[in-house]
Amino acid sequence: MAIVPYIPSPMKVVKEALYTVSIGENDVLYDLGAGDGRVVIEAAKQGAYAIAVEIDPYLCEVIRKKALEEGVADRVSVIEASFFDIDLSNATVVYVYLYKSINDILKEKFEKELPIGTRIITIDFPIPSWVPLAVRHTLDEKGIPRTIHIYIKGISNPLARTKKTLVIDYKFIARKIKCIRSL
């Protein structure tokens, strides 16, 4: 059973978000609650390996079919499961268009599973208590204002700002910051 309704991300916003984090062939992107797969298809077109996590079996089939039609099936995987039940430890980018309350629950999973330096994109709804590295205001195709939040695990999360975690590889983090395109 889905905990959030299927609301597709506007394509203009998807493209802008992926551009902002410099998605590319060295990335593994997870879209949590992938819907019709538009984010993973676009990420795969830009060279990333993209993993759609979707609980609805019908939408999983839609994603598989679209990936074939768009010629990116070799760069797209579909996991039919709750995003709470999957392992994110190999992610370099995570895309989330979920309610703030769900983001609040997910932040604990992000703290535990995501590698330092993972870029996290949220659309419209921030991750409570995390500090975005970048916030981009834009309009979608219908002229509706949208907000893209970009976070980096190891910088944005409160746990990263404690004395116990100050041994972060700052050169690695600096490379991740460089991949965030200027706003």
- Return d(Cα 49, Cα 43) in angstroms, integer: 7
Q: Domain 11-177's class?
A: alpha beta
In the chain, what are the domain boundaries? Answer: 11-177
**Given this model, what pLDDT does residue 139 score?**
96
pLDDT band at 166 (very low <50, low <70, confident <90, very high): very low
Kindly state the average pLDDT of the residues 65-90.
Answer: 98
Phi-psi map region of 174: left, alpha, beta (phi>0 left; psi -120 to 50 alpha) = alpha
- Residue for token pair 């419209």: 124
Give Dmax over CA atoms of the chain in angstroms: 50
Nearest to 153 by CA among 91, 66, 105: 91
Count of alpha carbons within 13 angstroms of residue 87, beta-carbon side: 2
Show the DSSP H helices in the chain as ranges.
Answer: 11-20, 38-45, 57-69, 100-113, 170-178
Mean pLDDT, the chain, integer: 90
Q: Counting beta carbons within 10 angstroms of the beta carbon of residue 88, is it exposed (0 to 12), middle (13 to 18) or buried (19 or more)? A: buried
**% the chain with pLDDT above 70:** 85
| pLDDT level of residue 167 (50, 70, 90 thresholds) | very low
Q: Is the pTM of this model over 0.85?
A: yes
Give the model's pLDDT for residue 179.
61
pLDDT of residue 163: 47
Q: How far apart are CA 146 and CA 166, in angstroms?
A: 34
d(CA 54, CA 39): 12
Return the pLDDT at 158.
Answer: 80
Q: In 3D, which of 54, 96, 46, 110 has the Cα closest to residue 77?
A: 54
The whole-angstrom separation of Cα 130 and Cα 59 is 30
Strand partners, 145: 139
